[in-house]
Chain A
Amino acid sequence: MFEHDDDTLNRMIDRLREPVEMDPRLDARVMARVASPGFGMRVASAWEWLRRPRAVVISPITGLGLAAAIALLVWFLPTRAPARGESMASDVTPVQFVVVAPGAESVSLVGDFNDWDARLTPMRAVRDGRLWTVTIPLAAGRHRYAFLVNGARWLADPSAPRAQDDFGSPSSVVTVGG
């Protein structure tokens, strides 16, 4: 009787462990609440301060230097932040990478899209440095990558499939359709 009862209990547990689909629209509802007016009060007042026109006096040489800097910035930066999955050009897709790394001083995205050079794609800290993120354009295909924390610790992406490891430190893969 005891074993039979346990069999029934185990059947119940197996059933409860099965995946439960949640409405994916829940994500949008969460983000709508996160972006609600109560949240944005400080941002709105800061934006107002920025918008208000002011007179600024600069020397001609400073002006030339600023113009050159802006020109370089425009040349190197993407023209906009496109939505995930939307192509900026016909053969690249912007892909956003996010990692939770509180207390990190620096996090870099390193992979075969930047020749495994940790200097090329630093990630940006958001949420008081708890989240690190970057969006980069990736060509169609399969890309190996990892996060490098403080220039010393390799971290795989917990949200991505693992790459088969050749070197004793974790890597991940992302596949971009083409």
Chain B
Amino acid sequence: MTTIPRVSGFVLVVALLAARAASAQDPRLEHRLDSTTLAAVGALMDSARSAGLPVEPLVQRALEGTAKHAEPDRIIAAVRRLAGELGVARASLGRESSPAELDAGASALRAGVRPEDLTLLRQRRTQSLTVALAALTDLVTGGVPPDSAAAAVLALASRARDDQIADFRRAVERDIALGATPAAAAAVRVDATLHEVTNAAANPNTPRKP
């Protein structure tokens, strides 16, 4: 029977061509992934690109997997998962979102934040959401329940600067490390931050913290 070798040969040629196409998309992957994995990751990147999603986060996730000597299946699964999360982030944050916002949004969704809360954040905050989304994600991965974290960041969204939100997240993290319950730490610190934001707005000449 010669059909099977010819089919195998055909599949091999297709895989090589697909790998060549994928590597044409990003040469960094060519040197780090085997041809089969390259083809699969390349296909995911193509789909993401067609959907208007950023592909750099997908490249980086694949590169992280190779650096950590992960199994090919695991790398492909990670890239597929991230591509899905980027899609949901875009649907929640809007088509005009920047790649950094989408990447941060994908992380937030992965952490357990609801898509509706991402949409609310977009509605309440006029400037870039990257830092706010990152703070939200870090609060949740640090132990604050997703709904408490979202409530806290949404409360700050319309008034706090990026550096104030970042300081708020760090303060909550410190309090948790010192034994405070995560939800309580977030609630206490959001009140303190809102107070600080209100004072700063009332006294615009007060110097900002370095």
Contact = CB atoms under 8 A, between A and B. Distances in A.
Interface of A: 17-20, 85, 110, 112, 115-118, 140-142, 144, 154, 161-164, 166-169, 171, 173, 175, 177-178
B107 A19 contact: no
Contact of B64 (A17, A19, A144, A161): A144
B65 A167 contact: yes
A178 B64 contact: no
Given A112-B64, A164-B110, A18 B104 contact: no
A115 B62 CA distance: 10
B78 to A, nearest CB: 4
B103 A19 contact: no
Contacts, number: 97
B81 to A, nearest CB: 7
Centre residue among B28, B64, B130 by max chain A CB count within 10 A:
B64
A116 B67 contact: yes
Nearest to B185: A19
Nearest to A19: B178
A162 B65 contact: no
B86 to A, nearest CB: 13
B173 interface: yes
A141 B104 contact: yes
Nearest to B66: A116
Interface stretch (B7-15, B44-52, B134-142, B151-159): B134-142
B180 interface: yes
B74 A164 contact: no
A175 B134 contact: yes
Contact of A115 (B63, B103, B178): B63
A18 B178 contact: yes
A115 B162 contact: no
B76 to A, nearest CB: 11
A167 B70 contact: yes
A161 B131 CA distance: 14
Contacts of A19: 174-175, 178-180
Contacts of B21: none
Nearest to B69: A167
Contacts of A177: 130-131, 162-163, 166
